[in-house]
A and B are shown apart, each in its own frame.
Chain A
Amino acid sequence: EAGVTQFPSHSVIEKGQTVTLRCDPISGHDNLYWYRRVMGKEIKFLLHFVKESKQDESGMPNNRFLAERTGGTYSTLKVQPAELEDSGVYFCASSQRSGDPYEQYFGPGTRLTVT
């Protein structure tokens, strides 16, 4: 069974540019989460999808961040325009809706550097 995959693994962009991160959850996992770790800080929750619906987006920093999950499969996180403080590692995780929804499976992360 394939795990959670994220693309790209690294991205270096200039301030003001746009970047789109992609996450493919484990097949059949209805719950999908985005987290971010800024250097030296804790991993912080950004938002939670149940299928294609946003269940909780309380962690989204501002309206420069747009997350989508069309069709309830993969998800994208777009940052537009990017600012220096957006640099960090963005993790995606998924979990089942039934059974054990508390156990999340994480992807390897996308390291975003904004210069």
Chain B
Amino acid sequence: AQSVTQLGSHVSVSEGALVLLRCNYSSSVPPYLFWYVQYPNQGLQLLLKYTSAATLVKGINGFEAEFKKSETSFHLTKPSAHMSDAAEYFCAVSVTSGTYKYIFGTGTRLKVLA
């Protein structure tokens, strides 16, 4: 069975500081991994995805994530936080057995301090 763990339900960073949101997964097969962001009163928007190509994945808004099989991790980073990055971030793994359904982590709410 596949699962996702996001460490830290709330993360605060100062504007301009590094953003690091952690995601660890469990999967018996090569996973497809995703990061989504939800801004207030909006739906989930895809930030980036890993689909077994390059292990370092670049996404929108300056975010990137690195797939590390040995650590079963897919942490999300951004070198310099901006106030507009304040949102809730979700890591998800896609079940690759035909239904493509997602298993989500519990989400991390990012707060950016001025």
What are the residues of chain A within 8 A of B32 when measuring CB–CB? Answer: 102
Chain A residue numbers with a CB within 8 Å of B107 are: 42-43
With an 8 A cutoff between CB atoms, is B46 at the interface?
Answer: yes
> Contact at B106–A41, with CB atoms within 8 Å?
yes
Cβ-based interface call for B28 (8 A): no
| Cα distance, A103 to B32, chains bound together (Å) | 10
Could you give, for residues 91-115 of chain A, a 1 whenever the CB lies within 8 Å of some chain B CB and a 0 otherwise?
1010100001111111111000000
7 closest A-B pairs by CB: A106-B44, A108-B43, A43-B104, A56-B99, A42-B106, A106-B43, A45-B101
Which B7-54 residues have a C-beta within 8 angstroms of A?
32, 34, 36, 41-46, 49, 51
What is the interface residue range for chain A against chain B? 20 to 34
B59 to chain A, nearest CB (A): 12
1/0 per residue, CB under 8 A from B, across A5-43: the answer is: 000000000000000000000000001010100000111
22 residue pairs bridging A and B, Cβ less than 8 Å apart: A33-B101, A33-B102, A41-B106, A43-B107, A44-B104, A48-B100, A59-B101, A91-B43, A91-B44, A93-B44, A95-B100, A101-B100, A102-B32, A102-B49, A102-B94, A103-B34, A103-B49, A104-B100, A105-B46, A106-B43, A106-B45, A108-B42
Residue contact B51 to A102, C-beta cutoff 8 Å = yes
Interfacial chain B residues near A93, Cβ < 8 Å: 44
**Would A56 and B101 be within 8 Å (CB), given that A102-B32, A106-B36 are in contact?**
yes
Chain A min CB distance to B91 (Å):
10
- Interface contact B103-A45, CB-CB below 8 Å: yes
Given A43-B90, A103-B34, 9 other A-B residues pairs in contact with their CB atoms under 8 A: A33-B102, A42-B105, A43-B104, A45-B102, A93-B44, A102-B32, A102-B94, A106-B45, A108-B43
